[in-house]
Amino acid sequence: MTRVLIVDDEPDILLMLRVNLEADGFETALAADGETALRRIEEERFDLVLLDVMMPVMDGWGVLQGLASDPAAPRVIVVSAKSADRDVARALNGGAADYVMKPFSPVDLSDLITKVVAYTPEQLDAHRKNRLAKLTDVNA
Amino acid sequence: MRLGTPDLAREARVAGLRRYATPSLEAVESRRAQLWVVAFVVMGGLAAGLLLLTSTRPLGGGSPVSASALRLALVGLSVAFGCYVAEKEVHLRRLTRMLVDERVLAAAFSNRLDELRELSAKETAVNANLQLAPTAAVVLDGAIELLGGVSGAIYLRDASDGLRLHTARGLEGPGSGGTASAGGLVARVDRTGEVALGQSDDDAGTDAVSGAVVAVPLPRDGVVEGVLLLRRGPDGLFSEYDARVLARFAEHSAPAIAHAALYEGERRQVAELVERDRTKSSYVAMVSHEIKAPLAAIIGAVRTLQRSDLPPEHVASFLEMIEKQGERLSRLVEDVLELRKAEGVRDPEVRPVDLAGVAREVCQLSRAAGRPVELRTPSTLVVNADAEALQQILLNLIENAFVHGWGTVEVEVADEGAAVRMSVLDRGAGVAPEDAPAVFAPFARGAQTSARGTGLGLYLVKILAEAQGGTVSVAERAGGGADFTVRLPSLGPVTEAGCDGFDEAASEGRAATPAPATVSALANGATS
């Protein structure tokens, strides 16, 4: 079963994502800040991380940085209300597989998770490049 | 130089230097040497002749008449030749004097030319700059180099119309602080618009013709916009000529300084506008992010509710989520609107308000809403403020205390003399001193994010307090917790009759400001 770590400082978002993902057959774990997320990733095995950016203690950028040096790290989909192309580019260049803007559709998110987890490393790179190419205004 | 030429030519002709229109000093000297050699030879010949005549007389025994005539002729010849030589010598001397004068004159002109060349080079350097500080530095360094000063200073007119030290070189001790205001010689130049020489900076200056310190005006359209001051060591004094040169240099440098000041002002304004635009953009980005967060929860919850496979026990919690996040969204929009209103106020409607009364009202409201608040206040305390803003400030501070603190919230209103203080104290985690400025920034919520706060409450308090000429600060409370304090400018004791009380306040010897002045001061405070 695919294990997903949901990282968000908003309890309602955590709950909403957990209910949806579990209904779609994923196994979920929660973290409310970046530090907790990194600790859980280190201790447990996850196939994918849904990562918010604006969080207390350690933000999403810090988590991406912490995972960058770990080749066995789970794939990351950033889920954020930040909608600037600059932020999207930063996430993708920082190692994220994709970037989903809030508000989002939980069903679409489940499809995306399934796709990203199934990708071979080459497919993932292609997917990321494709996503970056669609950005119009990247002045990061 | 031109005046001397005909005289020179004539003298040269008379002195036997026909080949020259203006002979060189060396030619004159060689001519004189020639003259004296000839004079010696001729005089020697004549003397020898005379001697010969005297000694041969007894031997020859010739005609005594012819011998004495010959002697007479020889003496006459000597006298005539002596006169000729003396006349030539006089002319040669005059020629020498004229030529020396000419050389001195030429040297002086060449010095003057060098000086002008240097001056124009300095002026070019001065005009090559557009920023005030480098321009003033170039002017000052140029002046010091030009006149060989040991130190110097430039005073410029500031916003308050006084002359203030702007740039200093080689200056030690008081006055190099950058804010020293001008006195003595500088003040004299400012008053008279004339060059002034003195023995020291503080020398109010008589009409001295030389001095160790010289100050000249930096004029602009006939108005003294600044003063350039130079000092020399005790051994070298500035002459009146030096002062004139410096004045000319200052006159040419003044427009460059004025332009630089103007340019700098414009640049500062542009930078301010850019910064304001940047702040606005980042504010919009923050607001949109804050709006999206509850929207994401609401839309996500609705989509979840639409699922056919949703376990029924979740329906209630998702409905509650939608309601809660909807309310949060609505509070946020309200705060944003409130903020826009507060920021838009350039001229707040201030009038004497009883702060103690406002505090009592707000605390009653708060208690009615189930939030116990303890209030300590004098019976009345009148301030010049907008009553609605005061209410909002207190409400937000109390709300903040309940969100981030625990226990009873205490509100304190007190007269501090120069200011009126209202403090809201809680027993929460408090605010670390290094975080103090950040808590008043928009959307700067504490580490424990609460869905209830919008992140705009304290920012709104700051905007409202500052719009009324007040300040807001946060300190750590003794025994733990936060102490949020708003200070508003005091009005002095006023009777309940309102404005009628001002005269009474003044007669009591208190520092009471008349109402119109206070209001305009507040208005200025709000726009700056």
**What's the pLDDT tens digit per position in B427-444?**
877 888 887 888 888 876
**For B385-435, how does the pLDDT look when each residue is reduced to its tens digit (9 = 90+)?**
888 888 889 988 998 888 887 778 899 998 888 888 999 998 877 888 887
Beta bridge partners of B414: B421
- Pick from A9, A83, A106: which is nearest to B304 by CB? A106
Query: What is d(CA B429, CA B446) in angstroms, rounded to the nearest whole number?
Result: 10
Residue B173, sorted as left (phi over 0), alpha (psi -120 to 50) or beta, turns out to be left
Provide the percentage of residues in chain B whose pLDDT is more than 90.
8
pTM for this prediction: 0.55
Q: Which of A6, A9, A110 is nearest to A57 (CA)?
A: A9
* pLDDT tops 90 at residue B490: no
Does B268 touch chain A if contact means CB atoms closer than 8 Å?
Answer: no
Average pLDDT of span B109-136: 81
**For B304-315, how does the pLDDT look when each residue is reduced to its tens digit (9 = 90+)?**
999 888 888 889
- Tell me which of B167 and B22 has the higher pLDDT: B167
Q: Which two tokens stand for residue B280?
A: 């606005």
pLDDT, position B371 = 83
- Tell me which of B148 and A98 has the higher pLDDT: A98
Does A105 touch chain B if contact means CB atoms closer than 8 Å?
Answer: yes
- Indicate yes or no: CB of A19 within 8 angstroms of CB of B292: no
- How do B213-220 and B223-231 pair as beta strands? antiparallel
Query: What is d(CA B155, CA B157) in angstroms, rounded to the nearest whole number?
Result: 7
Asked if B140 and B167 count as a contact pair (C-beta separation under 8 A), the reply is yes
**For B52-98, how does the pLDDT look when each residue is reduced to its tens digit (9 = 90+)?**
877 775 555 556 667 788 888 888 888 998 898 898 889 888 888 88
pLDDT, position B169 = 83
B170 alpha-carbon distance from chain centroid: 18
The residue ranges of DSSP E strands in B139-198, in sequence order, are 151-157, 163-169, 196-198
* pLDDT tops 60 at residue B526: no
DSSP state of B329: H
Does B321 touch chain A if contact means CB atoms closer than 8 Å?
Answer: yes
Asked if B350 and B522 count as a contact pair (C-beta separation under 8 A), the reply is yes
Average pLDDT of span B481-487: 90
pLDDT, position A96 = 92
Query: In angstroms, what CA-CA distances link B482 with A137, B356, B422, B423, B477?
Result: 44, 22, 14, 10, 5
Average pLDDT of span B135-163: 85
Distance from A47 to chain B by nearest Cα, in Å?
23
Question: Tokens 């007894």 map to which residue?
Answer: B58
* pLDDT tops 50 at residue B133: yes
Range among B6-15, B172-181, B423-432 with highest mean pLDDT value: B423-432
Nearest CA in chain B to A54: B289
* pLDDT tops 70 at residue B474: yes
Task: Flag the least confident range among B149-158, B180-189, B362-371, B376-385.
Answer: B180-189
pLDDT, position B528 = 34
**Mean pLDDT for chain B overall:** 79
* pLDDT tops 50 at residue B240: yes
The residue ranges of DSSP E strands in chain A, in sequence order, are 3-7, 27-31, 48-51, 75-80, 98-101
**For B92-117, how does the pLDDT look when each residue is reduced to its tens digit (9 = 90+)?**
888 888 888 888 888 888 888 888 88
* pLDDT tops 50 at residue B499: no
Does B117 touch chain A if contact means CB atoms closer than 8 Å?
Answer: no
Does A104 touch chain B if contact means CB atoms closer than 8 Å?
Answer: yes
Average pLDDT of span B239-246: 84
Contacts of B230 (CB under 8 A, 6+ apart): B143, B144, B147, B149, B151, B152, B213, B214, B215, B238, B246
- B282 pLDDT band, cuts 50/70/90, is confident
* pLDDT tops 70 at residue B516: no
- Pick from B289, B300, B309: which is nearest to A13 by CB? B300
pLDDT, position B298 = 94
Backbone phi, psi, residue B479, to 5°: 90, 10
Average pLDDT of span A42-69: 90
* pLDDT tops 50 at residue B3: no
- A47 pLDDT band, cuts 50/70/90, is very high
Task: Flag the least confident range among B150-154, B175-179, B222-226.
Answer: B175-179
Position B40, amino acid: F
Query: What is d(CA B50, CA B470) in angstroms, rounded to the nearest whole number?
Result: 118
